[in-house]
Structure 1
């Protein structure tokens, strides 16, 4: 097969990129290791930054988001049993929208299929070659097990942290930090206990109250690395959430738990994000701890930059934006990495921290909620810095 852009991965990064390229008249083919039903249902992030929402509206992809998404104009930092609201919109003039990543993927797949474009699902044995040339190639087996070769002008590696794209780039420098705790994530069939997100710092560990819809609540607990999900019964989860989220006037609403999992926390960046005609985007190039709600938004920022670079390269024979792709993206990536690290270290309990470090943590929280400048900085980063 022959196409202009071969996209590895049908997550938000790959799907948004395909849509942006289509608007410019650039052909693309998406290859995905998982099945269609799986990627439409897998539970992921749910916070859309202001620039992400604005982009989706501009692209005509926000109809369902605007109808079903939950607009939030603030969030709470909870510590010492007290709530401290950060008024995002009052401080920045912007808001966020809570809308599940799986819902975004559904919207993108529906738009892709409405254009008559096919996503090749359940491919295997994917490998990249000739990325230093103007005709890079993707070899793979299709869902029937038949060997295929896709010749491209550009390859976009949107296949996540464990994908095959990043290892194809030689001479990389990786920046990595693993945190001494994990997140236990819970999806519960119950209305949210509060109208906004609550980030709770507690001596027993961090907790987060979030939501996916007026009927579905998303909750998180800090747990030790190596904890097994089998150790966390539903009763134990609700008891721990009730303890860590406790505050005057707050009552945790319980309900049937639909899904629970444990995921480690890490920060990761690889440089460069490009080699030859291979470009990395999203989790294939960087990972952020979920505390800052940046992962999906960073991926979308990457592919917006990439779509413009590909347009200049293929339609106008201008290689400069493609050459600057990595440097351009990394400026935003490192800002988001810092913010995510800041939120994580301020709110979580490090099991190795001494009393001095614990007091510094509380001091930082107190300063953040009492200083207009500090609260504004948090709000500005949380709602999302402008794309580009």
Structure 2
């Protein structure tokens, strides 16, 4: 089957080799997420390949990408079978205290500057991130750098740049101080944050710059690495005003619903403090303000109304599906990622031995 035909078919969930459930270590932080765990083996993903995934647990990014007709929600970069993994993410923010809890329930600082941001972790850390805490994946697969002529070594060049040229700082895990991972520094010399506003506007990240609040997200980090490693930039995609409206409303509804049901990214909100109102709608507006305008400290509805009613407003970003050449995004020609031409390759956890590690 030709690559063109294959790329038009939405992939079903791929079989992942079963391995032992991770051993998790909880700790005292302002998040309910568990950082540390083990994998009984490592993945088989080649050096220089990207890994694209979709969790089954919902969350704000899933809500936004579903609303614009895209499927994959996270992107990672492999430094070889059983080796380190580069990605950009954030733990679930904690909540604020009384009385701000009842109007802006999500910790504004943790929502604004997502932690750990851009980092490099081991196989135990990435397995805990993907599968720990009872989580599961709808989809996970890898793609190698290639063109119509076949596979090439361009992905390995990007890998070498990340390992040898992008500055890092060794960082102790917030839940197990005996474990270390590496946080990447941006062009300004400071560790990169995970910034939800990147889904609204990636600014100049794909051409070597850093976004607002020294931020990137998973897919814009990989676009940044491609350019900094000496390859042409991945063109950002513009989502029109109508798609921006749809995505924003879907985001607010998703956060509110997951908060009300105690599921997904915002599980636990509203379980410890009683307010005179349902705080889940406040949480929904707060997250929407954060992603659409970089205003993570307020649930003021006028912020979104001003965006919604301004026909000139659009979103400009690079998503995981754009990296992979899926959901109508180009997989050949200029302005595409090095990995877009490849199809989905099955991931197996069959490399190396037991590894323990932490993702923050």
After TM superposition, the score normalised by the length of structure 1 is: 0.23
Q: In proportion to residue count, which structure has more helix?
A: 1
Bigger radius of gyration among the two: 1
Q: In proportion to residue count, which structure has more strand?
A: 1
Which structure has more relative contact order (CA 8 Å, sep 6+)? It is 2
After TM superposition, the score normalised by the length of structure 2 is: 0.25
